[in-house]
Structure 1
């Protein structure tokens, strides 16, 4: 297979991927537009009506909600890196190192690489509070646009074994043959009182009403951005992805023509 044919195939695969991503953005916009924003009281009333008609534990309803994130009965959390009081946190540790390898000529070369060695999000429920009341949220997906409270790179100390430590977080790594450059630490939090937009599904199958990830492939969304901001973002992403898909398709056709013309 000539380089032109290989390039054409790669460009076509890229175009197909961008088209698929644009459909996902289109579907997300359609879900936002097609789901009416409810209040906490509305969802509780629907669940009570469903329980009266069919019994408890069968209610499942797609919802959108807007309100302030506040602690539930479990109380607030404390993030592991910065000890920030919060309702949700995520921390990430990335290992930066140099790897020695041999190229196609057999010569030794060094390249810089990185691996994520820890990426953890909290799962503790909290509440959404609006003017009508509270509703329990179970964060089954990462919070969108949380506040970043840590972004730090620490160089390796050159010791034999490696212990990664920051705040209350600690992780011991095995010694490897690669040269460690250092570790990057990042942490994000959702603090009490932050206004959030929530898209998910309300259930009463665990003995109380709660909103979590929908059934099927869709994920729950808890975002510090408003619905209008999210709609604008996804529409912009869709236009960009369609443009990239078109460019990939044109590139694939051009390379295919060159493959036949130039042999």
Structure 2
């Protein structure tokens, strides 16, 4: 009872962290301007005229369609989809055998990540006026990308050697593995994107990416209105659930200590 109570209190603390993060991101979206790229170019030109060439910084939102970098499109690992960004994850499902105090075996199914990769290559965004701005994903996974692969492949057990016509078991085979789960996500060229971040000209052309200091960085296939609605819903649910979990956890800890 005490352990379960402690877990509830810890869960409430983790939930509080995510509630504050969700609130801060919502406030960042509300406070940021959605600017066309040519307006950002005008502001950068003013910055240059004031002697701050290469030092332009502006936190804002940019909306447009994904556009490939000058080097061309990327190709995803599993589905071979042409894209501007991709990510894949491989998970192993397996059985873990343990013995209880009476020596009886217990099998528990578990999952572990054995491989994952997120593309870091930059790409561009073409806004509604047809002007391009660079996007530096910096390894950040976008919100709600398109999933192009989701499959499970059972583990194929290898046969052992044949001796005098008899098939022997493979003693080196990993009998605990059940199979492998493959997932892959992409952003195709032309995908509508919402980006909240910091626009800079450190490398010359304007690029939007993760703020150098404080600030939020969001790349999403959803609109700003959809993101705001989702954030408000999540914040309300956490605001209700966190106090309940904390109170229940404290109650269980007290009852466990008394008992």
Match of 2:46 among 49, 53, 57: 49
Farther off after superposition, 110-119 or 223-232: 110-119
Partner Cα distance (2:182, 2:7) in 1: 35
TM-score by structure 1 length? 0.85
**Secondary structure at 2:109's aligned position in 1?**
strand
User: Are residue 97 (structure 1) and residue 81 (structure 2) matched?
Assistant: no
Partner Cα distance (1:84, 1:144) in 2: 19
Partner Cα distance (1:121, 1:224) in 2: 17
Farther off after superposition, 200-209 or 82-91: 200-209
Which residue pairs with 1:115 in the alignment?
112
- Aligned-CA RMSD value: 2.0
1:18-57 superposed matches below 5 A: 18-57=15-54
Partner Cα distance (2:27, 2:253) in 1: 36
Cα distance, 1:219 vs. partner? 5.0
User: Are residue 139 (structure 1) and residue 108 (structure 2) matched?
Assistant: no
Distance 1:179 1:47, change over 3 A: same
Q: Is the 8 A contact 1:100 1:111 kept in 2?
A: yes
**Secondary structure at 2:50's aligned position in 1?**
helix
**Secondary structure at 2:58's aligned position in 1?**
strand
Distance 1:100 1:216, change over 3 A: farther
Cα distance, 1:178 vs. partner? 5.5
**Secondary structure at 1:205's aligned position in 2?**
coil
Cα distance, 1:153 vs. partner? 0.8
Aligned residues: 245
Partner Cα distance (1:53, 1:256) in 2: 62
Q: Is the 8 A contact 2:148 2:185 kept in 1?
A: yes
Which residue pairs with 2:197 in the alignment?
200
Q: Is the 8 A contact 2:147 2:185 kept in 1?
A: yes
Q: Which of 1 and 2 has greater Rg?
A: 2
Distance 1:219 1:185, change over 3 A: farther
The superposition leaves residues 185-213 of structure 1 with CA deviations (integer Å, 9 ceiling, x where unpaired) of: 11111111111100111121123321111
